[in-house]
Amino acid sequence: MSQMTAVLRPAALADASAIARIHVAGWQSAYRGIVSDEHLDAISIDQRQAFWRQQLHHDHCLLYVAEDPARGIIGFSYAGGHHGSYPEYRGEIHAIYVLEQFQRHGIGRLLFQQAAAALLEANFNSMMIWALKQNPYRQFYERLGGKVLGEEVTCIGGRELVQMAYGWPDIAAVIA
């Protein structure tokens, strides 16, 4: 795995289109064969862009982009408070996506560390993330020290799927 140069920065409203494009591409590449093709093919960049524009209007939005100087935005992470199962894990990384051609170059790890640092700065001392059990990339979280907390069933595109929760009880240790 070679390290790539990318600048991490807080996302701006003007980044919503690029974030939406990466989000849709990430779902369609990672979840093909897991989530129904009909559901994946129906995901709209316009709808995702509207969602990200809405998120960027909130002061609590911990949304960061990875930008390659020559290629533009190539990935993003999104974090914030956690509500639901595992209340001892107060923060949550809601999403990390890197365009497929830029994966395995350290960008995902940088985005993970940035999300963790942002959560710590926002006074969250622990965090978690959910990943579909069949997600081919979920071992990424295990390599970053995430401990399996448990599993839950979720419904996506009319299919029941198992998602796994990974937790880090001490964010400060993650970014040290």
Residue closest to 168 by CA, chosen among 145, 137, 150: 145
| % of the chain at pLDDT higher than 90 | 78
For helices 45-56 and 16-30, the axis angle rounded to 10 degrees is 130
Averaged confidence pLDDT in the chain: 92
pLDDT at 166 over 70: yes
Rounded to an integer, the average pLDDT of 35-54 is 93
pLDDT at 71 over 70: yes
**Long-range CB contacts for residues 121-126, cutoff 8 Å, separation at least 24:** 122/60, 122/62, 122/80, 122/91, 124/81, 124/90, 124/91, 124/171, 125/90, 125/91, 125/170, 125/171, 125/172, 126/88, 126/89, 126/90, 126/91, 126/167, 126/168, 126/169, 126/170, 126/171
Q: What is the pLDDT of residue 4?
A: 63
More confident residue, 61 or 106: 106
pLDDT at 146 over 60: yes
CATH code for the domain defined by 7-124: 3.40.630.30
More confident residue, 59 or 151: 151
| % of the chain at pLDDT higher than 70 | 98
pTM score, whole prediction: 0.92
Cα separation, 3 vs 16, in Å, equals: 26
**What does the domain layout of the chain look like in residue ranges?**
7-124
pLDDT at 59 over 90: no
Q: What is the DSSP string of 48-112?
A: HHHHHHHHHTSTT-EEEEEEETTTEEEEEEEEEE--SS-TT--EEEEEEEE-GGGTTSSHHHHHH
Among left, alpha and beta (phi > 0; psi -120 to 50; other), residue 40 is: alpha
Q: What is the pLDDT of residues 90-138, one digit of tens each?
A: 999 999 999 989 988 999 999 999 999 999 999 999 999 999 999 988 9
